[in-house]
Amino acid sequence: MNLAFGSLTDVGRVRTANEDSMLADEQRSLFVVADGMGGHNAGEVASATALEVLVSRVDGGTSLAEATSEANTTILAKASGDANLAGMGTTLTAVTISDGRTAVFAHVGDSRAYLVRGGDLTQITEDHSVVEELVRDGRLSPEDAETHPHRSILTRALGVEEHVEVDAYEVDLLPGDRLMLCSDGLTSMVRDPAISVVLRRERNSQRAAETLVDLANRAGGSDNITVIVLDFEPGPLDAQNPRPVGGGASTGEPTGHWEIEEAEPSPTGGAEHPDDMHRPRRRLSLLKIGLYLAPVVAVLLVAIAVTGWYARGTYYVAIDDERVTLFQGVSGGVLWWSPTVERRSGVEVDKLTVAQRSDLTDGHRFSSSTDAESFLRRLEADVARRSRLQDDSTTPETDPTVTTTVP
Ligand code: CA
């Protein structure tokens, strides 16, 4: 069979950096998608490191699954030697073509490998994510999974634990088969039916990769997007070495028998003690939740600062303890900011007119202490003036002797 391929990696519409790494190496017959994660540029370092290690180990004759396991060790070592890289990790989905007819996969994380055969799209890899595990256990419907807020929380990745379980698959290839590797920047934006349409209709592998990236960007492009499309076309020797072909196909395209076999577990993948299974989940979950929550926390802190500024930056005049009182703050308090007494005037509540009293019942608000203070002074002057008028008009009646002493 002849191999044709197309590939593209794109930063997407939202992120400022591309943490995905991609390898499409025809000479080595090695094709890899790695989706890095971590602060600063640590995600890029993690995914690029995975590719470097894979290439050097595969060149040295190491199997793909074992090379993936060694990439895990190298990423952990790099992270432990550099505070900026601490906590970095990456997914990895790799395929190599052995003897020109067998696709051998190694896989960790939520990047994916698909096969298109006879017009059908099949996902070869299983996502190592919390949400996909819930779906596999029947505890979440595939429809709900697509919009689940935690769909990017991984249960397995490179760079998390000393030992990583690497999934290995083999697919016997047929002429006409098409493989597609991608990061979750595609599958979180574009659903399988739409992916299937593109992969069935666009026969050019490079244009198929570009169209898929374009679709993801048009759907929002909220993550980095990487796509590799591999086409296995009939070669001159294929007619002499026919592959077993199953029945039941009505499309006319090759729809032969094929199997996805999960290969033997890798030497490092045996430790399934509950602690070993849970620790990576918790660590990576916290990392991803942290990245998720950082903007939320920032917005919250700004909101609290604004509220505090508002709560302490306003003033009001109200009746407190039977006296007209100037407060700093908001009547009733906001969050943990309670109003404080700025000045208690000598004006007693029973000296106020009905209108003044009702104005102060819920507190008369001011945006500055100067405004509040001058309002209070005017009120004091008004009450004093009225009380003088009252005294003047009542004095003769209450104390007639005073007038009689005047000559
Ligand atoms: Ca991603």
Name the token pair of 259: 């199997």
- How far, in Å, from the CA of 36 to the mean position of ligand 1? 7
- How far, in Å, from the CA of 270 to the mean position of ligand 1? 27
- How far, in Å, from the CA of 405 to the mean position of ligand 1? 100
**DSSP bridge pairs for 171:** 103
129-165 pLDDT per residue, tens = 988 888 988 998 888 887 787 777 899 999 999 999 9
- How far, in Å, from the CA of 86 to the mean position of ligand 1? 19
- Per-residue model confidence (pLDDT) at position 392: 75
Q: CB neighbours (10 Å) of residue 10?
A: 22
Residues near 212 by beta carbon (within 8 Å), at least 6 away in sequence: 180, 182, 186, 190, 195, 198, 199, 225, 227, 229
- How far, in Å, from the CA of 123 to the mean position of ligand 1? 18
Kindly tell me the sign of the dihedral angle through the C-alpha atoms of 275, 277, 278, 282: positive
3-state secondary structure 355-374: HHHHHHHCCEEECCHHHHHH
Query: How does DSSP assign 223-242, residue by residue?
Result: S-EEEEEEEEE--TTGGGSP
Say if residues 35 and 226 touch (Cβ distance below 8 Å): yes
- How far, in Å, from the CA of 34 to the mean position of ligand 1? 9
- How far, in Å, from the CA of 292 to the mean position of ligand 1? 13
- Per-residue model confidence (pLDDT) at position 162: 95
- How far, in Å, from the CA of 122 to the mean position of ligand 1? 21
Query: Structural domains in the chain?
Result: 2-249 (3.60.40.10), 315-393 (no CATH)
Cα–Cα distances (Å) from 189 to 217, 220, 222, in that order, read 8, 7, 8
- How far, in Å, from the CA of 185 to the mean position of ligand 1? 5
- How far, in Å, from the CA of 138 to the mean position of ligand 1? 25
d(CA 387, CA 344) in angstroms, rounded, equals: 19
- How far, in Å, from the CA of 181 to the mean position of ligand 1? 13
- How far, in Å, from the CA of 10 to the mean position of ligand 1? 11
- How far, in Å, from the CA of 263 to the mean position of ligand 1? 26
Which amino acid is present at 41?
N
pTM passes above 0.85: no
- How far, in Å, from the CA of 287 to the mean position of ligand 1? 14
Query: How does DSSP assign 73-135, residue by residue?
Result: HHHHHHHHT-GGGTT-EE-EEEEEEETTTEEEEEEESS-EEEEEETTEEEE-SPP-BHHHHHH
pLDDT tens per residue across all 407 residues of the chain: 899 999 999 999 999 999 999 999 999 999 999 999 987 789 999 999 999 999 999 999 999 999 999 999 999 999 999 999 999 999 999 999 998 899 999 999 999 999 999 999 999 999 999 888 889 889 988 888 877 877 778 999 999 999 999 999 999 999 999 999 999 999 999 999 999 999 999 999 999 999 999 999 999 999 999 999 999 988 765 554 444 333 333 333 333 333 444 444 444 433 333 333 333 444 555 666 777 788 888 888 888 888 888 778 889 999 888 889 999 988 878 877 888 898 888 888 888 888 888 888 888 899 888 889 999 888 888 888 888 887 777 655 544 444 444 44
- How far, in Å, from the CA of 60 to the mean position of ligand 1? 30
Q: Where are the beta strands (DSSP E) in 138-292?
A: 167-172, 178-182, 225-233, 261-262
- How far, in Å, from the CA of 89 to the mean position of ligand 1? 11
Which amino acid is present at 383?
V
